[in-house]
């Protein structure tokens, strides 16, 4: 008995098919996005702490940090940061729905997964359009 099981364990057994073999489904891709945005937000939290710390340090350092965020690379990071926040938040809402045991059929899962990516892009665009109008960037172009 013990001999038999150790012989089995020693042999290289085939593993069940995993990521390499599946055609990506939208819920699978959104699951990956949820994890990746979560990881990005983990490090993004440093930016929030840094900005607050800069404000607490003094006017010169605060102006310096604000200046960095106002550069093109800084803006790209901020747009990405807000998209990651919104996407992760919508993904979380989807998980709240699933936690109740509802909408777990294939059709609902597909709808909720597509809604996550589409709404996250729309809401991010809406947020930055609002910021652009509020701050007069739109008027500046006209």
Partner 1 sequence: MITPLKRARGLGSAKEGPEHFMRQRLTAALNLVLVPFAVGLIATLAGADLSAVKATIARPIVAILLIALVLSIAVHMRIGMQVVIEDYVHDEGAKMLLLLANTVFAFGVAAIAIFAVLKLSFGG
Binding site residues, partner 1, CB under 8 A: 35, 38-39, 41-42, 45-46, 48-53, 55-56, 58-59, 62-63, 66, 69-70, 82, 85, 89, 92-93, 96, 99, 127, 130-131, 134-135
Q: Tokens 């089995």 sit at which residue?
A: 8
For residues 28 and 35, which CB has a smaller minimum distance to partner 1 in the complex? 35
Supply the minimum distance, in Å, between the C-beta of residue 114 and partner 1: 21
C-beta of 25 vs 35, nearer to partner 1: 35
> What tokens does 37 get?
């945005």
- CA angle 33/39/40 to nearest 5° reads 85
Q: Measured at the alpha carbon of residue 125, what is the angle toward residues 84 and 119, in degrees to the nearest 5?
A: 65
């Amino acid at each position: 008995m013990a001999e038999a099981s150790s012989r089995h364990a020693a042999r290289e057994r085939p593993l069940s098919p995993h990521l390499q073999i599946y055609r990506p489904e939208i819920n699978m891709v959104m699951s990956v996005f949820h994890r990746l945005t979560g990881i990005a937000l983990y490090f993004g939290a440093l930016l929030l702490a840094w900005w607050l710390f800069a404000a607490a340090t003094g006017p010169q350092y605060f102006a310096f940090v604000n200046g960095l965020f106002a550069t093109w690379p800084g803006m790209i990071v901020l747009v990405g940061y807000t998209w990651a926040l919104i996407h992760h938040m919508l993904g979380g809402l989807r998980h709240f729905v699933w936690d109740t045991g509802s909408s777990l059929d294939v059709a609902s899962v597909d709808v909720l997964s597509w809604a996550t990516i589409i709404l996250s892009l729309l809401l991010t665009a809406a947020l930055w359009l609002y910021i652009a109008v509020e701050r007069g960037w739109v008027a500046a172009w006209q």
